[in-house]
Amino acid sequence: MKGFILKSEPDAFSIDDLMAKPGRTTLWDGVRNYTARNNLMAMKKGDRAFFYHSNSKPIAIVGEMQVVAEAVVDETQFDANAKYFDPKSSIDKPRWFAPKLKGIKKLAFPLTREMLQQSALKDSRLFRESRLSVVDLNDAELKLLDKLIREAGNK
């Protein structure tokens, strides 16, 4: 099982938005960075993910999710009226993909960016590639996140 951190600006899509969706599920669409896309495509059913509110106060990991379906073609790339339209994508050769994620829980005590920077995660891709919206975690980072979530008072 792998782990990932997925970033979203809460005014675009928040943990509350996810938890309010039917079945608490969503396609994680609209990603338009190749490294982030590759991370989305690497997700397998059952993998864990952490919802990270970016460009917010506080910037923090605010929830836990699980991959419930592997990536499918992100249909927004073909919609000329969509925010994430990509004129270079074609139905025959799509560029962008979106896995289906389920909200598991909203953290009662979010892990702020400052808390994460004071941990061993300070050298992780989360901070080295801070503009990357989908970050893969190694086993040690995943275990550390679990520990930090518990230590913050979350169940």
What's the half-sphere exposure (Cβ side, CA atoms, 13 Å) at 115?
Answer: 16
Q: Identify which of 100, 104, 4 has the alpha carbon closest to the alpha carbon of residue 45.
A: 100
The residue assigned the tokens 């920077």 is 117
Alpha-helical (H) ranges within the chain are 15-20, 34-42, 113-117, 125-128, 139-151
pLDDT in tens, 77-102: 999 999 999 999 999 999 999 999 99
The CA-atom distances, in angstroms, between 145 and each of 10, 49, 51, 53, 115 are 21, 11, 12, 16, 11
Q: Given this model, what pLDDT does residue 107 score? A: 98
Q: What is each CA distance from 45 to 66, 73, 91, 99, in whole angstroms?
A: 8, 16, 25, 9
pTM of the model: 0.95
Superfamily for the 3-151 domain: ph1033 like domains (3.10.590.10)
Compute the average pLDDT of residues 38-44: 98
β-strands 25-27, 48-53: how paired? unpaired
Would you list the domain boundaries of the chain? 3-151
pLDDT tens digit sequence for 103-144: 999 999 999 999 999 999 999 999 999 999 999 999 999 999
- Residue 155 pLDDT exceeds 90: no
